[in-house]
Structure 1
């Protein structure tokens, strides 16, 4: 009888999206599974006079994803073992800020982009894309773009209370490491956030 009273709040929390547990396994999630507003975030860095083309840098970012982000902010580990290149369908476990676990899956790979989709139990529901665009002068812009909703109301509150700042640090650190991979120099950078119901 005692265990029953522990189960009821857990089921109620899951049903109200206060807490997310992967009851259906590590299934792909989109904005429809989240709560609160849809948030589109863009982080970018403009690279002038690169020694590597953007196609090579984007591929290196995908293949070296666990090394692109400082592990103290988000530790990525590919689930599939081996030395084969990362490809569509591969999953990564992510330990965020040393305490929150999540998973993402590679769902799209192109010459100038790749996209990750969140899996159940990630703190956000939606996608994150890494891509490049040519600049008018000699160079290109590298971007991290995400379109997500918080996976639970708890995650929404923690984002507003400071996790958003740490998330920004995570992606900006990754872009700085990509700048080093490019062999070019920083010509500009920026961020933007837009939310809608």
Structure 2
């Protein structure tokens, strides 16, 4: 009887540990955000945007769908999003996503803001970059009845090793977010105006500002 009691208690203990570890992984994984100040090398401010007219959804419905279906908009070969914590049908502040990134590094991000027409992520410990990225659908600044979907990031490399691989990483990143913009227009069944635009501004550790695009 005593032996069965010990086995029972031991089993409960193992079960509790297992549930605790699962909870840590799924709901409080303990990863800290990586701010740009903690990164290595130059600070990069990148923008990717596309203009379009006549979307078949309201702006709010379009962004709501994007937030609930991130994998549909990113090229899985280069960056595959998977919801790690939170409701899979919604995007709320504090939710986390794991990203399988082409190359030797994967990463995770946490939702830092989620509004009707915008959302943003902070990179978490272990992500190749230290910083944040913002997605927004907004009226065109000059053209009436025209919309602009824009992605903007501000980040440094996580460490010196990632910084050394910057050129490869930049090419992959550009392809990911250009594809994302293309797929937003496709899903909206809208008419794209012009090409997808990109801009990169580098601020070196010496304070020099370099415009790449």
Cα deviation for residue 82 of structure 1 reads 5.3
Deviations 1:127-153 (A, max 9, x none): 011002202222200011000010011
Give the number of the structure with larger relative contact order, counting CA–CA contacts within 8 Å between residues 6 or more apart. Answer: 1
Deviations 1:11-47 (A, max 9, x none): xxxxxxxxxxxxx941111101101111000000101
Aligned length: 173
RMSD: 1.7
For 2:54, the equivalent position in structure 1 comes to 49
**In 1, are the aligned partners of 2:86 and 2:92 still within 8 Å (CA)?**
no
**TM norm structure 2:** 0.77
SS, match of residue 86 in structure 1: coil
Runs of 4+ in structure 1 displaced over 3 angstroms?
A: 81-84
Q: d(CA) in 1 for partners of 2:69 and 2:88?
A: 11
Does 2:213 correspond to 1:192?
no
Q: d(CA) in 2 for partners of 1:26 and 1:130?
A: 22
- Say which one has the larger Rg: 2
SS, match of residue 79 in structure 1: strand
Q: d(CA) in 1 for partners of 2:120 and 2:102?
A: 22
Q: Of residues 176, 182, 191 in structure 1, which corresponds to 2:188?
A: 182
For structure 1, which segment, 90-99 or 106-115, has the greater mean C-alpha deviation from structure 2 after superposition? 90-99
**In 1, are the aligned partners of 2:86 and 2:96 still within 8 Å (CA)?**
no
